[in-house]
Structure 1
Amino acid sequence: MERWRGRVALVTGASSGIGAAVCENLVKNELKVVGIARRIEKMQDLYEKLKTEKGTFLPIKCDITKDEDIYSLFDQIKEKFGGVDICVNNAGICGTGLGLLDGTTEEWRQMYNVNVIAICLCSKLTVKSLQERNLDDGHIINISSIAGHCVQNVRELHFYTATKFSLKALSEGLRQELQSINSGIKLSVISPGLVKTEILRDISLDSSFNKNIMELNTSLKPEDIAQTVSQILAAPSYMEVLDMLVVPRGKPMVDGKGRSMDMK
């Protein structure tokens, strides 16, 4: 991680869970970290926690479903730090737990905007930022999910799964485009299994899926994924991590209704 000291990292979805843990890890590794989310007050708490570290943490309120917010964000980072060197696309939403037969187009569009479109735009602007400064050693890390590798028989996750399959395809497409211009910018995807975060918070508390999923299964901690991010960044320049699956060990995964959530 030494070569990244003093460089600038953007982390989306930084108000809690994996995003907050990634910010903390990178700040402790002496990076300048910009964390974005809609809940600015939670990031202020993280700022207070990290203000004595050697790295720096700058929280910025940003709604990544709004293109103008993202463009403004990159302008702010350019003005303050020069640009973005590392982009960790972590923000993601799971929806309210409705299936494809009873879901709404409004929720589907919201999920796709957060889980796919915003990642594409942040990645594009990161590459542009690096190119404007004639830098060729940046890194984009997309936090995906094991759901991007299999369609599980769990209705609450079907559209979420579709967004993660899209992210997998788009990540590989961007990697190919970077390679086609002989770019040294790396692109990695981390696909975690169950992580104890707030991603299920919008599913109704009456849902057995939401109430029992963490109790029934072994889960990872946000810090585990943050450590995985730093391990990828610490890899030698000649090595690129394409898609890393990180899953908890334990009994076979089941949801709150006893349905299998294993990979097929």
Structure 2
Amino acid sequence: MERWSGRVAVVTGASAGIGAAIAQLLVKRGLRVVGLARRADNIQALADSLKDAPGKLYAVKADLSKEEDIMVAFQWVKDNLGGVDLLVNNAAVAHNNNLADGKTEQWRQLLEVNLLALSICTREALQSMKERSVDDGHIVHINSVAGHSVVDFPGIAFYSATKHGVTALTEGLRKELACLKSGIRVTSISPGAVDTDMLRVAIMHDEAFKDVLKDLPMLLPEDIAEAVEYAISVPARVQVHEITIHPTGEKF
């Protein structure tokens, strides 16, 4: 991880859960980390708790469903820190939303955040790297086991479709970068159930989730952060394309 010390990372959805855990780990490893989220006050509170760490965390407010917010955020990074060397696309939404009677506005939000925002952030990070001749950058997509199969879980087929899209975008970007003979790498990290605010909110609002998750083993956000650290710390000759992480005992 020494080569990342002092360099700039952008982590989306950094206000809680997996994103906060990733931001915290990277700051402790000496990176300058820009956390993007609507709840920038949460990121600032985390930044205050890390004031003695080798790196630094910057809180930038952004609604990832709005392209203009993303563009403003990346301009802030350019103006204040020079540009992006590492992007972690963590921001995502999930809805318990059946295909037979689901709400269009929820489907649209899933597409905008889980796929479109990820793609816009990726494009802007890659442009930043190109402008500065950075050829050892890294793009990390926080995916899901639901991005590789349609799990037997109530109401998440559309969410699963967006995560399958992340799987396709990861492979597509790897091939694009290879054709360009670029040293920039891309990694998909696909966790099973993780104990996060997003999952707790889903449980709180839907009885079906409560029944399914009652005895479900779960990962911690820190487990995913450690996977990110592994993926970005391997030698340049190694492309860690996919990491799938199940909690011990998970049946799907």
Is the Cα–Cα contact under 8 Å of residues 153 and 212 in structure 2 kept in the other structure? no
AA of the residue aligned to 1:98: N
The whole-number CA distance in structure 2 between the counterparts of 1:222 and 1:143 is 11
Q: Identity rate of aligned residues, in percent?
A: 44
Stretch of structure 1 that moved more, 14-23 or 102-111: 102-111
1:94 is paired with a residue whose SS is: coil
1:27 is aligned to 27
Correspondence for 1:258: none
Q: In structure 2, what is the equivalent of residue 48 of structure 1?
A: 48
1:194 counterpart residue number: 193
Q: Which amino acid aligns with 1:203?
A: A
Query: What do residues 122-159 of structure 1 show as CA deviations (whole Å, max 9, x unaligned)?
Result: 11111100010011000000000000111123331111
Match of 1:80 in 2: 80
- What do you get for the CA RMSD once the two structures are aligned? 1.3
Offset at residue 249 of structure 1 (A): 0.7
Q: What TM-score do you get using the length of structure 1 for normalisation?
A: 0.92
Could you list the structure 1 runs, at least 4 aligned residues long, displaced by more than 6 angstroms after superposition: none
Counterpart of 2:107 in structure 1 is 108
Counterpart residue number, 1:205: 204
| TM-score after normalising by structure 2 | 0.96
Q: Give SS of 1:200's match.
A: helix
- Could you tell me which amino acid in structure 1 is paired with residue 31 of structure 2? L
Aligned equivalents of 2:90 and 2:97: distance in 1?
23
Aligned equivalents of 1:6, 1:61: Cα separation in 2: 22
Q: 2:69 maps to what in 1?
A: 69
Aligned residues: 252
Is the 1:196–1:214 Cα contact (8 Å) retained in structure 2? no
Which range moved further: 143-152 or 37-46? 37-46
- Deviation per CA, 1:14-36, whole angstroms, max 9, x where unpaired? 00000000000000000000001
